Structure 1
Amino acid sequence: MVGIGLVIYPGAQQAAVLGLTDLFGVANQIVASRQKEQAPALRVTHWQQDNPSHAPNCVFDSCPGDPSKTLSALILPPALNEPNGPSDAPILTAWLRNRHAEGVALGSVCAGAFLLASTGLMDGRRMTTHWSYADLLQQRFPDVSVDADQLIIDDGDIITAGGLMAWTDLGLRLVDRFLGPTVMFETARMLLVDPPGREQRYYSVFSPRLTHGDAAVLKVQHWLQATQAKDVALATLAAQAGLEERTFLRRFQKATGMTTTEYAQRLRVGKARELLQFGNASIDRVAWEVGYSDPGAFRKVFTRIVGLSPSDYRRRFSATPSALKPVS
């Protein structure tokens, strides 16, 4: 049996813990039906601290009759409350580091990334979290490379998943790893969930940094938002800020983490997503509405940022009746 442990830390989402337990249980049933064996392929355990000063104990075991509790992977589920701080659980993070040193793969979902990053194991490495937590994770752990465009990042010994419901993606990724793609796809089909391969940027909303403290840059950000970034000429933006052009560019990138071009593109694409989701205008018309005179350039920028073409995005997320959608 392959041992997979779920860590129930303070604030952990119980729905994800139970959902993952069920997902692995479904995978076990599929394996049993194929091999006509009664012994489960995956053993699921839950680990929880009785006391913050003690290491976690096993509080649930799907195979209690087997004395061995060898682990192949440990998962930190999402949380619904404020993410853990760097020093909230020193005993737990030390325990995770020790398990990793023994060869146990570690995984996190959504806000579980903060606890994983607290171990120090992610320094100099790439990880993902929920897109709304990306800036906070980067601020708390500057040595970590946060890539919130990805729904799941699998580095072998560490796997991180982004969204609150991305525990399904992480669970299926582990089923694929330990039991193979056929069992993984059958498990996904049984649960009526998409197999791994989605990207978080399909769903994320652009959330600009507004708390950087640079009043001149903030003024320009508000102006760009109000005008839907229709005019992004450097001279215009610098004049809005009341700064010399080179000074403005340097301060804008420092405050927002983006160039003015990247920032404007994300604002325009955000508006385009809204028009595609809730309207019936043609793709060319949407491009014009958000400030692109060249529909081809709009399609390239949209696809690069969102990960889907405008027409694919509309087909997937449109809230309008399909009969009303124009051919694009």
Structure 2
Amino acid sequence: MYTVVVLALDDVIVFDLATPMETLGRVRLPDGRPGYRIVVAGAEPVVDAGAVRIGVDAGLDELDRADLVVVPGRNDPARPTPPAVVEALRAAVARGTRVASICVGALILAEAGLLDGQRATTHWLATGELARRHPAVHVDADALFTDNGQILTSAGASAGLDMCLHLVERDYGVAVAADAARLAVAPLQRTGGQGQYILRNRPTYQTATLEKALNWIEENAHRPLTLADIAAAAGMSSRTLARHFHAETGQSPIQWLTGVRVRHAQELLEITDHTVDRIAAQVGFPSPSNFRTQFTQTVGVNPGAYRKTFRRSSA
């Protein structure tokens, strides 16, 4: 049986805290024995978790006896981590203990220097902040979870469940993990990454230089556009337009155009009965096959799978 210490800090996200407790705490082996012993530990005996206050089982010295330490996120991910917690996490990793984060808990691991040089993820709303604050971390904004052997990270909310089920499979095999997944009423493995869950709203940029071009693309994305068309609408040469796009968005004009078309397609997949081929034509892709390829590369799942997941009941 593995001992799992779930770290509870002030401002902890209760969902993140409960996920490993419920998922790992209910794992049973074929002979009926529990697979994990769960201990909640913290720097203080009582934790303020917003609407509730939580009493913890143990102090930070419990990390010395852990086989796995799980670090949930906090509602304010910019809140500094207590130095004693940072040192306890570093010591745990130095002993060879596995450490896993849920949601923005990845920023706590990064603050401790435990993700430097490693592939990591976090909630899609915080991936940019993780990359900005910790440039030595290889941020994978699309991954539901990452496993570097000793250190794991997961994206937001239910991605913590995905990671926990992965840990069960790693520790006890697929049969035990499948039982845990059935108990959690969840798939053992989900299709695609968190790209399919990213908010579809149009990105906003405070840029007078590109405002005209971005608005024009938004209104004309359904047409068969070229770089020259966009440049003419923006009143720039193609070379100047490409330079401004790369500097201000990190993309080429055509990459931006593809993103707009995919975003429009997502909305149509959610609210209409139109066929995938018809939607491809409606939003401006040159062919259904090109649409499927670009959509899958951008979102992480194909259009049909996206529709099954996000189709609105009122459609």
Q: Answer whether TM exceeds 0.5 for this pair.
A: yes
* 1:74 equivalent in structure 2: 69
1:132 counterpart SS class: coil
Query: How far apart are residue 21 of structure 1 and its match?
Result: 1.1
For 1:68 and 1:256, locate their aligned partners in 2 and report how far apart those are by CA, in whole Å: 43
Query: How far apart are residue 69 of structure 1 and its match?
Result: 6.0
Q: Could you tell me which amino acid in structure 2 is paired with residue 73 of structure 1?
A: L
Contact 2:72 2:105 in 1 (8 A): yes
For 2:88 and 2:261, locate their aligned partners in 1 and report how far apart those are by CA, in whole Å: 46
C-alpha root-mean-square deviation of aligned residues, in Å?
2.6
Could you tell me which runs of 5 or more consecutive residues in structure 2 were left unpaired when the two chains were aligned. Answer: 46-54
Q: Which range moves more in the overlay, 191-200 or 291-300?
A: 191-200
For 1:146 and 1:312, locate their aligned partners in 2 and report how far apart those are by CA, in whole Å: 25
Q: What pairs up with 1:135-284 in 2 under 5 angstroms?
A: 135-198=128-191, 199-206=193-200, 210-211=204-205, 214-228=207-221, 230=223, 232-284=225-277
Q: Could you tell me which amino acid in structure 2 is paired with residue 35 of structure 1?
A: D
Q: Could you tell me which amino acid in structure 2 is paired with residue 196 of structure 1?
A: Q
For 2:204 and 2:63, locate their aligned partners in 1 and report how far apart those are by CA, in whole Å: 52
Contact 1:225 1:267 in 2 (8 A): yes
1:156 counterpart SS class: coil
Q: Does 1:111 align with 2:107?
A: no
Of residues 42, 60, 63, the one that matches 1:48 is 42
Q: What pairs up with 1:88-127 in 2 under 5 angstroms?
A: 88-127=81-120
TM-score with structure 1 setting the length: 0.82
CA displacement, residues 193-230 of structure 1 (integer Å, 9 cap, x when unaligned): 1213442122223566645x542134423332343464
* 1:25 equivalent in structure 2: 25
Query: How far apart are residue 68 of structure 1 and its match?
Result: 10
Contact 1:129 1:162 in 2 (8 A): yes
* 1:54 equivalent in structure 2: none
CA displacement, residues 215-273 of structure 1 (integer Å, 9 cap, x when unaligned): 21344233323434646432333344444432332231222122222222121111111
Matched length:
302
Query: How far apart are residue 301 of structure 1 and its match?
Result: 0.9
For 2:141 and 2:13, locate their aligned partners in 1 and report how far apart those are by CA, in whole Å: 20
Contact 2:8 2:56 in 1 (8 A): no
Percent of matched pairs sharing the same residue: 30
CA displacement, residues 155-206 of structure 1 (integer Å, 9 cap, x when unaligned): 1111111122222112112211222221111011012012134421222235
Could you tell me which runs of 5 or more consecutive residues in structure 1 were left unpaired when the two chains were aligned. Answer: 52-57, 62-66
TM-score with structure 2 setting the length: 0.86
1:60 counterpart SS class: coil
Contact 2:4 2:67 in 1 (8 A): yes
1:159 counterpart SS class: strand
* 1:60 equivalent in structure 2: 57
Q: Does 1:5 align with 2:5?
A: yes
